[in-house]
Amino acid sequence: MAWATPQYTPQEVNAAGRALAKLDFPVNTIVGHDALNVINNWRSSHAYPLNTFQITLRNRARRIEQHVIIAQREKRLDSIHRKLVAKPTMRMTQMQDIAGCRAVFSELDDVYKLVNLYKSSHFDHKFRGEKDYIQNPKADGYRSYHLVYEYVGSGPGVPYSGLRVEIQVRTQVQHAWATAVEAVGIFTRQALKSNQGDAGWLRFFALMGTAISAIEGTPCVPGTSDDKGDLLAELQSLSRTLNAREMLRAYNTTLHTLGSAKDAKYFLVELDPDANSVTLHRYKAKESAAANIDYTMLESQIPDDSRRQVVLVSVADINALKRAYPNYFLDTAMFSRLVDRVLKGDFPDLCSPQAIADVH
């Protein structure tokens, strides 16, 4: 099986990160730049450890819930660039989410069952940190549980030792919120995921984060009201101003598929919102290196001022792909149903900002 291996020292990778942060974007303006070559090798080298982590995640999560959604992805180059610009002191080798895998559960209790399973079970890799954004939600409304590990390799895995992989564990409603933020960001040409863009939309998602927290019995999002009536009134007003319900229902896409469907492991997803189309390129497990080369090539072809996006992911099949990454299909159906429910006032009284739910 052909896997990319790291070809540059950490010092060279960090220098490439500093250079990338100083360059203009989109990627087609910098393709061929030495920094881009280094960073693309660094990113694609995470495929081997990421695959190992995803297998463990799948096995452990399915012991808890059979139909849990499992997915993995390598970070998009524009997201890497945006993070380096936002955090000038960050070294490229410190970025912990270049490679990430995710488990999405139906129930909140199952999130913590999996987290506790990781903490109580033997694992060959080094634990490097955790963030509980469910009990301590971000101010923008984001909620999920993050675990970070450093890969420890033996045999063919030795070249990958030291690379880090982030594991995200969340519920379906938390996932619906997060993917809707990305989808609306695509609709509106704004980096809402990075807390940039229209203040109304940013506030709408923070308020919806608190409403979802109330549904799950966890703490409110900082900076939002802990009074249900006040929260509902603000949400209803913002929804009218933004025309939010209509926008969330307005989009659908046409799906095109390329490559063999048999034994497909990797999916290179091209979203073109202006054409309302999604093109999938499918690759077998042994074609990981080719998938990463195509990933870089397609990123380099995105025109200036375009809403097109490309991402390389791995899931069990196409049906799982749409459930794991609805944002790349402009699918906000689940979140739209949540909005309809919340705007009717059909959610519990809110937790106080200081309350910590006992969900372990």
Q: Which two tokens stand for residue 264?
A: 């497909």
Query: What is the four-CA torsion angle of 88, 94, 97, 103, rounded to 10 degrees?
Result: -140
- Phi/psi at 9 (5° precision): -75, 160
Residue 355 has pLDDT above 50, yes or no: no
- pLDDT score for 357: 37
**CB-hemisphere CA count at 13 Å for 35?**
18
Over residues 252-274, the mean pLDDT reads: 79
Percentage of the chain exceeding pLDDT 70:
92
Is 283 in contact with 263 (CB distance < 8 Å)? no
- pLDDT score for 235: 97
Residue 145: left (phi > 0), alpha (psi -120 to 50), or beta? Answer: beta
- pLDDT score for 352: 44
Residues in the chain: 360
Residue 263 has pLDDT above 90, yes or no: no
Over residues 150-163, the mean pLDDT reads: 95
pLDDT in tens, 201-257: 999 999 999 999 999 999 999 999 999 999 999 999 999 999 999 888 876 677 777
Q: What is the DSSP letter of 63?
A: T
| E-assigned strand segments in the chain | 69-74, 99-105, 126-132, 145-150, 164-171, 254-258, 264-272, 277-284, 309-314
- pLDDT score for 252: 64
Cα 164-117-128 angle, rounded to 5 deg: 25
pLDDT in tens, 98-150: 999 999 999 999 999 999 999 999 999 999 999 999 999 999 999 999 999 99
Over residues 274-279, the mean pLDDT reads: 86
Residue 187 has pLDDT above 90, yes or no: no
Residue type, 196: Q
**Average pLDDT over the chain, rounded to an integer:** 88
How are strands ordered across the β-sheet holding 99-105?
A: 126-132, 145-150, 164-171, 99-105, 69-74, 309-314, 264-272, 277-284, 254-258
- pLDDT score for 78: 82
Is 147 in contact with 155 (CB distance < 8 Å)? no
Residue 171 has pLDDT above 90, yes or no: yes
- pLDDT score for 307: 83
Q: Which two tokens stand for residue 146?
A: 């993050």
pLDDT in tens, 293-316: 899 888 878 877 788 889 999 988
Residue 22 has pLDDT above 80, yes or no: yes
- What is the pLDDT confidence band of residue 351, given thresholds at 50, 70 and 90? low
For 256, the 3-state DSSP assignment is: strand
- What is the pLDDT confidence band of residue 290, given thresholds at 50, 70 and 90? confident
pLDDT in tens, 25-68: 655 555 556 888 898 899 999 999 999 999 999 999 999 999 99
- pLDDT score for 191: 77
Residue 331 has pLDDT above 90, yes or no: no
- pLDDT score for 359: 33
- pLDDT score for 228: 95
pTM of the predicted structure, to 2 decimals: 0.88
Residue type, 33: H
